[in-house]
Homo-oligomer: A and B are copies of this chain.
Amino acid sequence: MSMTREEIRDLCVKSLEEKMVGTKEKNVDNGNGFYRYFFTNFPDLRVYFKGAEKFTAEDVKKSERFDKQGQRILLACHLIANVYTNEEVFKAYVRETINRHRIYKMDPALWMAFWTVFTGYLGSTGSLTDQQKAAWMELGKEFNAECQEHLKNSNLPYVH
């Protein structure tokens, strides 16, 4: 059964209610927690975080850098979910995200893989329904499609 854009947005936004951004300790931990999950479950990807290539979850927890970085990535996920129904804005934000990551020379396959990591995180520390997960993966598929298109148009490596 396919979902409308509105349904996908609402499901994703709802799933983030318990992972709200903000300045309170809980909010900061919502972002830091993403990196604890990430570094624990996908240690090979730590290579993209200069100086933190060997960080454990404990190191991340104590790290102000990952408090800030966590807040940034969590905000990005809130933004992308909230604007999903405004398709051109959604795609423009995807392109801007790609532009900002250019310097890191990431494997282009990671733009799709990210959504497995992110939904894994949401499921690991809260309640993520099957339907919410399906909504995020649908959003992620479209996110990735615009990523690859923009990488291609920018003469950068992309996934065919």
Closest to A75 in B: B92
| Choice from B23, B79, B93 contacting A89 with Cβ under 8 Å | B79
Q: How far is the CA of A13 from the CA of B85 in the complex (A)?
A: 12
| Choice from B78, B86, B88, B92 contacting A92 with Cβ under 8 Å | B78
Name the interface residues of A8-51: CB closer than 8 Å to any CB of B: 13, 20-23, 27
| Choice from B82, B83, B92 contacting A71 with Cβ under 8 Å | B92
Q: How far is the CA of A20 from the CA of B92 in the complex (A)?
A: 10
Q: Is A96 an interface residue (CB 8 A)?
A: yes
Q: How far is the CA of A78 from the CA of B91 in the complex (A)?
A: 12
Q: Is A72 an interface residue (CB 8 A)?
A: yes
A21-B89 in contact given A79-B79, A79-B83, A82-B82 (Cβ < 8 Å): yes
- Contact code string A67-104 (vs B, CB < 8 Å = 1, else 0): 00001100100110011001011011101100000000
Asked if residues A78 and B72 are in contact (CB atoms below 8 Å), the reply is no
Asked if residues A82 and B86 are in contact (CB atoms below 8 Å), the reply is yes
B residues in contact with A88, CB < 8 Å: 20-22, 27
Q: How far is the CA of A100 from the CA of B136 in the complex (A)?
A: 28
What 6 A-B pairs come out closest when comparing CB atoms?
A21-B92, A78-B89, A75-B92, A82-B83, A20-B88, A22-B88
B residues in contact with A89, CB < 8 Å: 21, 75, 78-79, 82
Q: How far is the CB of A110 from chain B (nearest CB, A)?
A: 22
B residues in contact with A83, CB < 8 Å: 78-79, 82-83
Q: How far is the CA of A89 from the CA of B22 in the complex (A)?
A: 8
